[in-house]
Structure 1
């Protein structure tokens, strides 16, 4: 007996082999998950650097208050604040040189092929401006501006006591409190999930003790005025084409001050001054005209809607809307005295003594918080810095890097129960197809669509301006992995119908682009790279360009497999599926070299940088599932040796990736060791990636500099330590580290449409459960220690059969399974 329907459990079923029973998943009330403990971090002084400010966001708008006492700066962001414009990147030389590039590669003259690519096989124009794209058509994500509050205190005393600056993740609210002289001051800020604007609430516990002036600024391209009683900043960004006048994105920000307990508002030419108040509410409305021509009307309407409400209502509505997302998952790893330490001190203490389990839970929930805060349905996906930046020239343009970083931003989306936050990325991917089809034709004379490493809001799909990193051409295929993953977690066939043409188009490109390598008869991607990494040729030259790479083979194989699966589910395209299956069989398999490691290229080249941050040839271990402990133990062991040789210390996002690798290898202690490394305090203002990254004081990941992908990758890695389902079987606590002896979680998701929970003590499971969100069949891998277990189905005692250590059960939507040990 392999499976049983829960609805049929009316009679007793004898369960064989009780010792093999299950270590599983979620309690019956998982739909009502509530985070039990306060989740927050704090500082005991104002921010000294931007990376100490507190990030707030509602998926479209961002604010970052620094908590200054005499002058407070609140950074303002809007997700579509991009310079640049659509551009012609077609390079007619590229397709004419393609045959010669391939010939040189197949002749082993990779250095000559690379030289030819540098001259011919790049985008037309300036490309990304070598990461300085603010004033070229590629553009850059930019700060909207700064909201500046200059405070005047009635008590001239310089004494400040009881200072506390806190980010509360339960409510998505930043607060500052202190006593100056005899007056207690408190501030709260949030970016409203209900009202879609920024809210700043200021209070003093003495009458007429609140006096301040409001201003705004940004480094360039802005005008500031007072419009009625609103402070208005507006401007227009460069499009990168016309250098004489601004023709790019238009933007605006309006600040309205409400004084519910009296006081006076004095408008100036370019500021607002509040005098003799004890409470003030600042409403901050921001918007651009990116796909929003009525943005100026939006600025007014959002203010008018919120102005009618008192602060408690604004706050309550915001918190309720935010918690509908955040409260879906709870992770409890215990509490400690360090919970009350300022976060900067806590990070330093953690490096000396790792006995701080709740820091891992905080970091996990901070990752979820950042994803909730940096994207939402109908908006843009999070970029390299989420939606937070403090510059005009954001590092690497704050764009969508497609050789891992953009994808890593979305690794937590499904497993941490934020599935709808995957959709902005999926919509963005669909919008690249038309441009990608033109790029495929112009550069490769191929059908279908392609994109390379660079992505922005202007549908840039061409190779980058520097082939060493810009030639990677499997990015569209990697994006399609996310399209199919969303289906695997939701089983939404209507959605699958919608995205299947995108997957098919990406697969169609490779049916044309793949070419036979005469040296080995494999089909290869040529030219290509193993992202950003290089090797030494026998002549000693360092080269990036190659014919085929292990990552390419793994991604293309996955794309073909997923496209075939999608077509079969939809009952279409059988002939095309046969073609994909044939070409898939002619790709070089993932191969173990003589040193026991997985080959990164088709040949055993000497690595130019043995500890390189990219470990692209382990894509098949994570996020792919080609390599697994269960099905490919030899490849898994080779992956382990590969990671050991690569080393642990690296840039922030790379260490986050390695957490996921080690979790997939079921080595929880090594995954935890990488988490410790990822949380290494980092305050250097540098882009030097050699010395490795860590975490800034506000928990932003240091690449360095700040890149948000490490936060998302670390969050996903912690989830991967707690539950895995990529092989088709659900396994709880596959990589539980020794440091997390006792704990629980609720609300994590698994493929097939399930939601899971677990409790454990001294490393042993005590309770586990599964709830079906959609109808389906679930295969549950049982732990070794499964004796003395009770089972409840839909809250009623039941027995279930186990065969070969696996429980297979069919469930209807809403059915629940609870196991207690």
Structure 2
């Protein structure tokens, strides 16, 4: 497959932040604007957050809990919510927020102000942003990348003639007052040092080294000045007290190590590391690449006008993989609402971790897209949350185990965030996040990982062993919660959000108990707890179908105050859960379809991440045309010129959810088999994909033409049986619903690859025997 066409490119510099190009190595991020004379690279370091850790748990929650429950049971919703707003809020209400590191500014000197042949590009295949232009018959070139192995940002400036590079370089942090030092400590080394606000604020430090070839370098004040250079390499390092006792010393150490290498060595080290992840998989939808020579923003405009562009969809998919590699690597923090790319001191929703869908969605593509390592920061953060969540469980609810609400921050804070009744009092955040541990095991079959992860999963489940209460009908429900972030209507017209046993709660707990039970079996341990969970799981309420034929959102079939709400929480059991699927639960699948139709009818999917979730849901229902319709709508209505997702404003979860949705259309492995091409639309008539992962430790490569599978290769990392489901056309032309479904059982050996041999009886053969 052609790697060179995976790019975003533009004919002009970025007009604003939403047009700039993102680069990152998990910890250090940059947004490259590409201005010719006044370049701006907006900087982030993932641990620059306002303030230190705090205990925000409200001790009055436990004492007031019985009264709140009594109000709910008596139908006194308003009284329950008033008391909950006092007793269940965190004190203070808000968690810590993410901040930008600052800006790197480069003011270039050109002897002419006429520029031609401008091109700004993000090369997804190589992980580098480039800016090219001509001035007075001189070709100028900039390359910007962030190296994970060397932990630095590198900027390379070259010109086609000698002595033609001249600029002033400085660091900036806007109008903030928390900069303690900003100066050139050497003619070629510039620093910015400061501390975020609040008690125990984080100390941050940035160091920039300018390496000049054949030029003159001086410094005046807080500017480095370069004149008559042939080429320049700029190395930027950043560190904070979150990781290092002496951030300034760490920056010097990092820069010193990097400058011992040539630019070519820095580049090769970065390229080898980045491509070791990015090249694991590929996707090509069709063979029409005629639009490669059209700028990305114009291609997006043409798509909005109704033109087909399958290759842009492939690019969008690869952009999602690029973003995950760039903002979530081992030893970094997890991807926030904006990945690592944020330019505001007080960003929307604090640019932290919203864990009632958004953080989870960030990691939906991690396993299926062969980027398991990028999942690790979430697991590390969950361990941090466990310590805080045990306190929250005990202080607020008098329960064992650990819990979290709908947000967390750099310190793993688990107390409620803000006081927004439809969202804040929802103790399911840790439970949902813990399911990612099980998902990682399902894809990797890493029993050593599961042995450690099980204790986290168990602690999340243990909270609900204590928290669940029994109804008069003998069912177990959560006594106090919400359906994020929706509101119901009582028959008297009163609105409410606080409730008992909303459907999403029960579905998440069902999935968590199921995962813990299966993990206990795999590890052959903890038999008494397994038996207890099995008993409790059997007492959870079954999914209910409401008066509109929809999956019921609440324990009572209330009317919705907002039928087109962005959250579709009650379909967790469809995706990312596994309770609903068209074959085993057809009645629930029909109700799920009805739920989606109602949401969309009333304006649902109006935020980028919500539209992305809808893609995944339609894919699970094997409704390829509807899934594709929503892929197009995501690009048309919720995608910015630089392909960032637009909530609005920018949130990265829609990018990751969209990438995961496209993968879900190509392969599904949640229902005890590997279903190939379960939801491809008519438009995806032919294509090829390699490197997709399936549960059970399998890696898939396949090609299809005229909607029919023409090549299939399966690599088995751990051996075992592999159940394959795919369709074979028995007619010459594409005829939906007239395909014949094939199921094959493949008995695999560890680390062996198999290919499908076509014939009268389709069969698999080991590559070693073929």
Name the TM tier (shorter chain).
Answer: over 0.9
**8 Å Cα contact 2:678-2:726 kept in structure 1:** no
1:348-367 alignment to 2 at 5 Å?
A: 348-367=301-320
**8 Å Cα contact 2:563-2:598 kept in structure 1:** yes
CA distance in 1 between counterparts of 2:150 and 2:730 reads: 50
Corresponding residue to 2:110 among 147, 150, 153? 153
Residue 183, structure 1, aligned to residue 138, structure 2:
yes
Q: How far is the alpha carbon of 1:762 from its aligned partner? A: 1.8
Which residue is equivalent to 1:226?
A: 184
**8 Å Cα contact 1:766-1:820 kept in structure 2:** no
CA distance in 1 between counterparts of 2:399 and 2:715 reads: 45
1:519-598 alignment to 2 at 5 Å?
A: 520-598=473-551
1:101-142 alpha-carbon deviations (Å, 9 max, x no partner)? 1122122222221121112121121x22xxxxxxxxx32111
1:193–1:434 CA distance, 2 compared to 1 (3 A): closer
Count of aligned pairs: 742
1:630-669 alignment to 2 at 5 Å?
A: 630-647=583-600, 649-669=605-625
1:336-362 alpha-carbon deviations (Å, 9 max, x no partner)? 222221111111101122411111110
**8 Å Cα contact 1:597-1:639 kept in structure 2:** yes
SS class of match (1:680): helix
Corresponding residue to 2:17 among 40, 50, 58? 50
Which residue is equivalent to 1:6?
A: none
Which residue is equivalent to 2:38?
A: 71
Corresponding residue to 1:217 among 162, 172, 175? 172
Which residue is equivalent to 1:761?
A: 705
1:146-195 alpha-carbon deviations (Å, 9 max, x no partner)? 000011112x2x32111100000000000001112322211110011332
CA distance in 2 between counterparts of 1:516 and 1:630 reads: 31
SS class of match (1:783): strand
Residue 202, structure 1, aligned to residue 157, structure 2:
yes
Q: How far is the alpha carbon of 1:420 from its aligned partner? A: 1.3
1:529-566 alpha-carbon deviations (Å, 9 max, x no partner)? 00011011122121111111110010001111111111
Moved more, 548-557 or 220-229: 220-229
**8 Å Cα contact 1:35-1:330 kept in structure 2:** no
SS class of match (2:746): strand
CA distance in 1 between counterparts of 2:202 and 2:2 reads: 40
Structure-1-length-normalised TM-score: 0.89
Moved more, 293-302 or 116-125: 293-302
Q: How far is the alpha carbon of 1:85 from its aligned partner? A: 1.3
1:300-339 alignment to 2 at 5 Å?
A: 300-333=252-285, 334-339=287-292
Which residue is equivalent to 1:8?
A: none
**8 Å Cα contact 2:26-2:326 kept in structure 1:** yes
Moved more, 171-180 or 464-473: 464-473
CA distance in 2 between counterparts of 1:340 and 1:634 reads: 48
1:445–1:522 CA distance, 2 compared to 1 (3 A): same
Q: How far is the alpha carbon of 1:376 from its aligned partner? A: 0.8
Residue 506, structure 1, aligned to residue 443, structure 2:
no
CA distance in 2 between counterparts of 1:250 and 1:214 reads: 23
CA distance in 1 between counterparts of 2:86 and 2:251 reads: 48
CA distance in 2 between counterparts of 1:37 and 1:90 reads: 52
CA distance in 1 between counterparts of 2:107 and 2:302 reads: 35
Residue 59, structure 1, aligned to residue 15, structure 2:
no
Residue 469, structure 1, aligned to residue 423, structure 2:
yes
CA distance in 2 between counterparts of 1:35 and 1:508 reads: 50
Q: How far is the alpha carbon of 1:805 from its aligned partner? A: 4.1
**8 Å Cα contact 1:226-1:267 kept in structure 2:** yes
Greater relative contact order (Cα < 8 A, sep 6+): 1
CA distance in 2 between counterparts of 1:597 and 1:773 reads: 40
Corresponding residue to 1:295 among 247, 252, 259? 247
CA distance in 2 between counterparts of 1:143 and 1:440 reads: 33
SS class of match (1:701): coil
1:683-694 alignment to 2 at 5 Å?
A: 694=638
CA distance in 1 between counterparts of 2:118 and 2:650 reads: 27
**8 Å Cα contact 1:401-1:453 kept in structure 2:** yes
SS class of match (2:745): strand
CA distance in 2 between counterparts of 1:493 and 1:764 reads: 36
**8 Å Cα contact 1:649-1:677 kept in structure 2:** no
CA distance in 1 between counterparts of 2:131 and 2:566 reads: 38
CA distance in 2 between counterparts of 1:538 and 1:483 reads: 42
Residue 373, structure 1, aligned to residue 321, structure 2:
no
SS class of match (2:70): helix
CA distance in 2 between counterparts of 1:295 and 1:89 reads: 28
Which residue is equivalent to 2:147?
A: 192
- Structure 1: state its 5+ residue gaps: 1-33, 129-137, 242-246, 682-693, 789-802
Which residue is equivalent to 1:515?
A: 469
Q: How far is the alpha carbon of 1:464 from its aligned partner? A: 2.4
**8 Å Cα contact 2:192-2:207 kept in structure 1:** yes
Moved more, 811-820 or 504-513: 811-820
1:35–1:449 CA distance, 2 compared to 1 (3 A): farther
Which residue is equivalent to 1:235?
A: 194
1:185–1:36 CA distance, 2 compared to 1 (3 A): closer
Moved more, 408-417 or 86-95: 86-95
Corresponding residue to 2:446 among 489, 492, 516? 492
Residue 422, structure 1, aligned to residue 422, structure 2:
no
**8 Å Cα contact 1:61-1:77 kept in structure 2:** yes
**8 Å Cα contact 2:691-2:699 kept in structure 1:** yes
**8 Å Cα contact 2:97-2:346 kept in structure 1:** yes
**8 Å Cα contact 1:56-1:191 kept in structure 2:** yes
1:37–1:335 CA distance, 2 compared to 1 (3 A): farther
Moved more, 395-404 or 305-314: 305-314
1:571–1:343 CA distance, 2 compared to 1 (3 A): same
SS class of match (1:322): helix
**8 Å Cα contact 2:407-2:429 kept in structure 1:** no
Q: How far is the alpha carbon of 1:35 from its aligned partner? A: 5.9
SS class of match (1:706): coil
Structure-2-length-normalised TM-score: 0.94
Q: How far is the alpha carbon of 1:37 from its aligned partner? A: 4.1
CA distance in 2 between counterparts of 1:472 and 1:339 reads: 46
CA distance in 1 between counterparts of 2:362 and 2:307 reads: 27
1:773–1:598 CA distance, 2 compared to 1 (3 A): same
CA distance in 2 between counterparts of 1:207 and 1:460 reads: 55
Which residue is equivalent to 2:634?
A: 678
- Structure 2: state its 5+ residue gaps: 733-739, 759-770
Residue 279, structure 1, aligned to residue 246, structure 2:
no
1:369-408 alignment to 2 at 5 Å?
A: 369-408=322-361
Which residue is equivalent to 1:684?
A: none
1:23-51 alpha-carbon deviations (Å, 9 max, x no partner)? xxxxxxxxxxx764430010100100101
Which residue is equivalent to 2:391?
A: 438
Over aligned residue pairs, what C-alpha RMSD do you find? 1.6
Which residue is equivalent to 2:663?
A: 719
Corresponding residue to 1:783 among 727, 732, 749? 727
1:787–1:337 CA distance, 2 compared to 1 (3 A): closer
CA distance in 1 between counterparts of 2:677 and 2:741 reads: 19
CA distance in 2 between counterparts of 1:61 and 1:637 reads: 46
Which residue is equivalent to 1:809?
A: 746
CA distance in 2 between counterparts of 1:60 and 1:464 reads: 25
CA distance in 1 between counterparts of 2:157 and 2:365 reads: 35
Q: How far is the alpha carbon of 1:786 from its aligned partner? A: 7.9
**8 Å Cα contact 1:35-1:327 kept in structure 2:** no
Q: How far is the alpha carbon of 1:804 from its aligned partner? A: 9.4
CA distance in 2 between counterparts of 1:626 and 1:482 reads: 16
CA distance in 2 between counterparts of 1:672 and 1:174 reads: 30
